[in-house]
A = this chain, B = another copy of it.
Amino acid sequence: MIDDAWEPPPVLLAVDLVILTLRDAHLRVLLVKRGIDPYEGALALPGGFLSHAGEGIDTAARRELREETSLDANTLHLEQLGVYGTPGRDPRGRVISVAYLAIAPRLPEPVAGTDAADASWQPADHVLAGELNLAFDHRQIVADAVTRARAKLEHSALATAFCSQTFTIGDLQEVYEAVWGISLDPRNFYRKVQKADGFIVPAGTEQRTTVGRPARLFRAGPNAHLSPPIVRPVDP
């Protein structure tokens, strides 16, 4: 409860982006090399402070996404991941960071970045295993993002966000296999995906490919929720 004389303490609000994509069959996350003081030179998630007091948080996330990746933020999947605000996480003062999870489709070869020349797609595994040292609490944020993505593949159409606008069922399977880190039976996967109502819809024509029978093309269907779900196999 608020007392008349008392004033709440202001904080600084930052936005951090976990941008995941698939590259050579591995789940990768976009990291930038920090150019300014706290953790200068270390790898970190792209992000930044609110540009002005009237900027919406989602707007700020989209702006950062555009600035860092030069991707059209409107076509990408972007969802809020959580708030990270442990006191002391940023030496500059009380900084609260709102983390976002973004999923990018397979991208043209290089890392595109307008203001961050040294951005790179690092394997998510390496980050989780602690082989790469990240600034702040960014390793934890990436871990939470990967956990979220893995879980959402089961019950949502998130996997289509990793693909181009049209894709084959084989492409989709690659997504599941890379994100879950397992391999799946292509024949059973094929039927499972088709059975999930409104998950994918045929995109007319077929595709020219390198060798073998050309695959049908699909695009994301109307339903974001999968029923029945694509269940992740259990370990033992």
The interface of chain A, by Cβ under 8 A from chain B, is 1-2, 8-14, 35-36, 48-50, 52-57, 67, 80, 82-83, 85-87, 94, 96, 98, 115-116, 227, 234
Question: Bound state CA distance, A55 and B88, in angstroms?
Answer: 10
**In the docked arrangement, what's the CA distance between A93 and B35, Å?**
33
Return chain B residues, CB-CB under 8 Å to A12: 8, 10-11
Copies held by the complex:
2
Task: Determine the chain B residues whose CB is within 8 A of the CB of A2 once the complex forms.
Answer: 36, 48-49
Q: Report which of B1, B36, B50, B227 forms a contact with A11, defined as CB distance below 8 A.
A: B50
**Residues of chain B contacted by A56 (CB below 8 angstroms):** 85-87
> When the two chains form their complex, are residues B96 and A55 in contact, meaning their CB atoms are under 8 A apart?
no
With both chains docked as a complex, state the minimum distance between the C-beta of A146 and any C-beta of chain B, in angstroms.
16
B11–A87 CB distance below 8 A:
no
**Interface of A, helix, strand, loop or mixed by DSSP:** loop
Q: Report which of B13, B57, B116 forms a contact with A8, defined as CB distance below 8 A.
A: B13
Between A and B, 17 residue pairs with Cβ closer than 8 Å are A1-B48, A1-B67, A1-B115, A2-B48, A8-B13, A8-B14, A9-B49, A10-B53, A11-B12, A13-B85, A54-B94, A56-B87, A57-B85, A80-B82, A83-B83, A83-B98, A96-B96
- Distance to closest chain B CB from A1 (angstroms): 5
A44–B190 alpha-carbon span in the complex (Å):
48
Q: What B residues does A55 contact at CB under 8 A?
A: 87
Chain B positions within 8 Å of A13 at CB level: 8, 11, 85, 96
A94 and B14 CA atoms in complex are apart in Å by 14
Which residues of the other chain, B, contact A10 by a CB distance below 8 angstroms?
Answer: 10-12, 53
Measured CA separation A227–B232 after assembly (Å): 11
B9 and A11 contact, CB distance less than 8 A: no
A1 to B9, CA, bound (A): 25
Most B CB within 10 A of own CB, among A57, A80, A116: A57
Least CB distance from A116 to B in Å reads 8
Q: Tell me the bound Cα distance from A54 to B9 in angstroms.
A: 9
Contact A11:B53 (CB < 8 A) given known A2-B36, A48-B2, A82-B80 = yes
